Amino acid sequence: MPDSKMDETKKKKKKTAECCGYPISIFFIVVNEFCERFSYYGMRAVLVLYFRYFLLWDDDLATSIYHAFVALCYLTPILGAIIADSWLGKFKTIIYLSIVYAVGQVVMAVSTIHDITDANRDGTPDNFTLHIALSMLGLVLIALGTGGIKPCVAAFGGDQFQEHQSRQLNTFFSVFYLCINAGSLLSTLITPVLRAQECGIHTQQQCYPLAFGVPAALMVVSLVVFIAGSGMYTKTAPEGNIMGSVCKCIWFALNNRFRHRSDIYPKREHWMDWAEEKYDKLLIAQIKMVLKVLFLYIPLPMFWTLFDQKGSRWTLQATTMTGDFGGFVLQPDQMQTVNPILILTLVPIMDRIIFPLIKKCGLNFSPLKRMTVGMLFAATAFIAAALVQMEIDKTLPNFPSSSESQLKVVNMHSESLIVTVPSQEPLLIGSFESSPDYITFDQQDIRLAFNTTPEINKDLSLIKGSRQTLIIPSEPAEMYLKEDIKSKPKEGKNAVRFVNGWTAYLNITNLESSLQPSETSNYTLVSQGMRKFTLTDGIQSCEFSRKFGFGSSYTFLIPSDLFSTDCESIKEIEDMQPNSVHMALQIPQYFLITTGEVMFSVTGLQFSYSQAPKNMKSVLQAGWLCTNAVGNIIVLIVAELGKLPKQWAEYVLFASLLVAVSIIFSIMAYFYTYIDPAEIEAEILKQQETDPDKKKKKETLEMEEKENEQEIKQTKI
């Protein structure tokens, strides 16, 4: 390292403007983070819907691309960190990548304007390829920007503090985390509302341009705020290609160790010390610091594997519950907002009350201990989720296993019928009634007998693992099978279908096509709340309304006196009961996982900064974020591999795995010695100044290497 650089490292940071003990510059950084997270989470909140209903992708493609995008966002931090620490410095990296990010958001917003390709003004884009290309370009730029700046912003914030401000530095990371969650909470509440507005130049549509445009605007604001603070920041200059030097130094240490593997060479304290012949002691010490922390990170992805399932498995769990809170109704995916809301309350409580109290009791609640306890909290959250799941399982219908088939009989005939079913008591089914519940069969082929005149015997071939309904129309000989849904409807919605007992075709609200006499419609999904259906045969019409809960399924039987009774004679058959376990039961698991997050994630953020050498702060932040990326990838693999037969068992399995991992982590943490990187760096620099051997060592080594090369050449000759 050149002497001028050594002097710089030894020098204290320049005095910066302060307010209440905090550097004023951090105000710009936390506001910047708030706007950036608003932008990121706001866009994410409507992304799947955009894929599904604007680009018209199917569910699988929409969710795959969504997850690929999220994974990319957590892989790009390493790129941003390398650029910052080795080349541009944090300040310029944040500015340049924020521009890339803002451009990405604008491109994304433009891609959602259907009018740009709707030449025939029919309300649908004429050139889907252009919209897809624009949105993919936008997403790649956003992933590059959001991931790239993420490790730099936190580290840059930390750089603003002087040595005497270590208490304020810890508070900064908590406030930083509060801003992340305040921004994400606001945007996840606001952008879906913006999307639900109608807008357009030629035709009025769901307003995706507004839903993506506002996050784009917030990203521009974020950039402007960051630039506004320009004059106040402490900017640390990058020290050349640090990552290149790190890799070369590690490679040299490994090679040198291998060349001196014989017992005649004295052992060295650490394998990195084998780089001493060629590399600076300071660089070796810095690499040791980073490697020690990265080694400690190995078990951490398991925490995120559990944490990230709140967005997937827990939301699915909520779809099998009821969200009616009396005064307001919560949709299953809105349950996730409980996490940022709890963060906003728990971070101050922990910082101001719990941690000081623990300290007052004389307990040493060190960062690594906090992180271990955080993991245990996450594990207990999964035990709570398992208990809730057991409650839900008690209320779920008895769905057929893969070897079973289930059958229900609906009688639209004008008279009651007696149906003889294999190995069952004969069933009496009244006119416009159904068999009481599904009958389960182990075999697929069954014969049913009906007491009609003449008697009808019907051979049926049922589908394995399915639920079916046998519809007996007014003309029983024309009976037919209709397949039913065999799991709870998606997103907590309700599945409804109609059997037309009216003598002519009918048009019914929400149904794709008109329903012929005696025909049964496919299921249509309706949301919770009061729903109105209008039935018309083109001449007459009537309406009926019904209040739906969450996750139910109904077959509505339309009688022949439909219009004379003004729709009142419509009969409903409950195929699946509405959900009865309340979503409020998920609050304890959210509380536990968020407490875990505060202990684990906020502490991890501080720890990664405090234990990193000066020139590798962003790199270690990126390493920390990578634990999250790996955790996300594990979730994807687990989802692909399939689930245990019982969901509660899967929750218990994950909880046990995390307990095991936290035990391993606590052992690793026990052997970790906290360091003050600045102190170590200063100490080494001081030693080096008085070390006349340093230059000589390098020269000797270079000579040795040349001799070796010559020897190799001669042996070849």
Ligand X SMILES: CC(C)C[C@H](NC(=O)[C@@H](N)CC(C)C)C(=O)O
Closest CA to 235 of 5, 16, 481, 561: 16
| Closer to ligand X by Cβ: residue 111 or 339 | 339
Structure tokens belonging to residue 599: 């202990």
| Closer to ligand X by Cβ: residue 153 or 242 | 153
Determine the angle formed by the axes of helices 367-395 and 647-670, rounding to 10 degrees.
170
Closest CA to 93 of 105, 104, 81: 81
The answer to whether residue 180 forms part of the interface with ligand X (CB under 6 A) is yes
Cβ atoms within 10 Å of 717's Cβ, excluding its own: 4
Q: Which member of 305, 628, 647, 662 binds ligand X (CB under 6 A)?
A: 628
Minimum distance from residue 630 beta carbon to ligand X (Å): 12
| Closer to ligand X by Cβ: residue 70 or 585 | 70
Closest CA to 55 of 117, 100, 104: 117
361 DSSP assignment: T
The answer to whether residue 25 forms part of the interface with ligand X (CB under 6 A) is no
Cα four-point dihedral sign 372, 373, 374, 377: positive
Quote the CA–CA distance of 233 and 281 in Å, as a whole number: 30
Minimum distance from residue 244 beta carbon to ligand X (Å): 28
Angstrom CA distances, 190 to 43, 177, 489, stand at 11, 20, 26
The answer to whether residue 181 forms part of the interface with ligand X (CB under 6 A) is yes
Q: Which stretch binds ligand X (CB under 6 A): 179-187, 260-268, 398-406, 647-655?
A: 179-187
Minimum distance from residue 629 beta carbon to ligand X (Å): 9
Q: Which stretch binds ligand X (CB under 6 A): 100-108, 177-185, 434-442, 635-643?
A: 177-185
Q: Which of residues 321-360 bind ligand X (CB under 6 A)?
A: 339-340, 343
- Side-chain-side CA neighbours of 689 within 13 Å: the count stands at 11
Q: Which stretch binds ligand X (CB under 6 A): 180-188, 234-242, 421-429, 457-465?
A: 180-188
| Closer to ligand X by Cβ: residue 149 or 180 | 180
Taking CB under 6 A as the rule, which mask of x and - marks residues 426-465 in contact with ligand X? Answer: ----------------------------------------
Minimum distance from residue 121 beta carbon to ligand X (Å): 39
| Closer to ligand X by Cβ: residue 180 or 214 | 180
| Closer to ligand X by Cβ: residue 135 or 594 | 594
Number of residues that bind ligand X (CB under 6 A): 11
Question: Are residues 293 and 620 in contact, defined by beta-carbon separation less than 8 angstroms?
Answer: yes
Q: What helix, strand, coil percent values describe the chain, rounded to 5?
A: 60, 15, 30
Quote the CA–CA distance of 549 and 526 in Å, as a whole number: 10
| Closer to ligand X by Cβ: residue 226 or 533 | 226
Minimum distance from residue 585 beta carbon to ligand X (Å): 21
Question: What pairs with residue 461 in β-bridges?
Answer: 445
Residue 231, C-beta contacts closer than 8 angstroms, at least 6 positions apart? none
Burial of 661 (0-12, 13-18, 19+ CB in 10 A): buried
Quote the CA–CA distance of 337 and 587 in Å, as a whole number: 11
Q: Which stretch binds ligand X (CB under 6 A): 178-186, 252-260, 294-302, 562-570?
A: 178-186
Minimum distance from residue 183 beta carbon to ligand X (Å): 9
Give the residue at shortest CB distance from ligand X. 184
Quote the CA–CA distance of 315 and 311 in Å, as a whole number: 6
Minimum distance from residue 624 beta carbon to ligand X (Å): 8
The answer to whether residue 215 forms part of the interface with ligand X (CB under 6 A) is no
Closest CA to 429 of 557, 521, 523: 557
Minimum distance from residue 180 beta carbon to ligand X (Å): 4
φ, ψ of residue 187 to 5 degrees: the values are -70, -35
Cα four-point dihedral sign 460, 466, 471, 472: positive
**Ranges assigned E (strand) in 24-146:** none
Taking CB under 6 A as the rule, which mask of x and - marks residues 458-487 in contact with ligand X? Answer: ------------------------------
Q: Which of residues 34-53 bind ligand X (CB under 6 A)?
A: 37, 41
Question: Are residues 9 and 681 in contact, defined by beta-carbon separation less than 8 angstroms?
Answer: yes
Angstrom CA distances, 350 to 282, 361, 591, stand at 37, 15, 13
Minimum distance from residue 286 beta carbon to ligand X (Å): 25
| Closer to ligand X by Cβ: residue 518 or 601 | 601
Q: Which member of 25, 184, 405, 528 binds ligand X (CB under 6 A)?
A: 184
Taking CB under 6 A as the rule, which mask of x and - marks residues 577-616 in contact with ligand X? Answer: --------------------x---x---------------
Minimum distance from residue 627 beta carbon to ligand X (Å): 8
| Closer to ligand X by Cβ: residue 57 or 600 | 600
Q: Which of residues 551-570 bind ligand X (CB under 6 A)?
A: none
In Å, how far from its chain's centre is CA 143? 14
Minimum distance from residue 594 beta carbon to ligand X (Å): 7
Residue 325, C-beta contacts closer than 8 angstroms, at least 6 positions apart? 584
Please give the residue ranges that form the binding site for ligand X (CB under 6 A).
Answer: 37, 41, 180-181, 184, 339-340, 343, 597, 601, 628
